[in-house]
Chain A
């Protein structure tokens, strides 16, 4: 009965490298959300995906960031050419999206990205 799974839990990258963060939603959930948490802050929405579709990426920086949720496999948040300001905790959440549910988003444990 796995919840939302994220890996890695901790990721260290040097400036200019790429970071790939993975998220597997809860069983039965087909909607994935990514949020970023900067130190001492609440979470900020980045992107919402369904299988093979990006529904809303309005919270994602226009450059260097991309996300996907392929038909098979986990959702990936990719950050190219990382900078120090990308250091944060990145959370993935999933939900079961139907009219009878509350659309509660259940979160994974997060990936803590540190850029040196």
Chain B
């Protein structure tokens, strides 16, 4: 079974609108971390936001927020007020096990290609 599922291969959004990128995960661990990374066409991987499994509040970083629904095992990324520069691939990733523990591998989804239209 896929550990990270991103069901949207591609998404389109109008500039200045909000967009939600879906991510569901599968783990039996009680402690885990969820990450979102952005990969623009230039190819680098840029860290956007982190959510720990025990964090009670949804993570926010500027225009990025993570809609964390633990019971549904979903960690959707919400980008508010989209900008042309947001056009990129977006990857959801999970680290199973607690921070600082013996688990460290990130498992990535296949990504969602976001296109922001002017």
Contact = CB atoms under 8 A, between A and B. Distances in A.
Interface stretch (B37-45, B68-76, B80-88): B37-45
Interface in B92-118: 93, 95, 99-100, 104-111
A43 B45 contact: yes
A67 to B, nearest CB: 15
Contact of B108 (A44, A106, A112): A44
B107 A45 contact: yes
Contacts of B91: 42-43
Interface residues of A, number: 31
B111 A42 contact: yes
A43 B52 contact: no
Contacts of A1: none
B50 interface: yes
A56 B52 CA distance: 23
A90 B55 CA distance: 32
B105 A42 contact: no
B110 A42 contact: yes
Contacts of B33: 102-103
Contacts of B111: 42
A91 interface: yes
Contacts of A56: 104-105
A89 B104 contact: no
B23 to A, nearest CB: 11
The residue among A91, A98, A102, A107 with the most chain B CB atoms within 10 A of its own CB is: A102
A106 B35 CA distance: 11
Contacts of B12: none
Contact of A101 (B93, B100, B107): B100
Given A42-B91, A42-B109, A91-B45, A97 B100 contact: yes
Contacts of B106: 33, 35, 43, 45, 93, 105
A35 B95 CA distance: 14
Interface of B: 4, 33, 35, 37, 42-47, 50, 52, 91, 93, 95, 99-100, 104-111
Closest 3 CB pairs of A and B: A42-B108, A107-B45, A99-B100
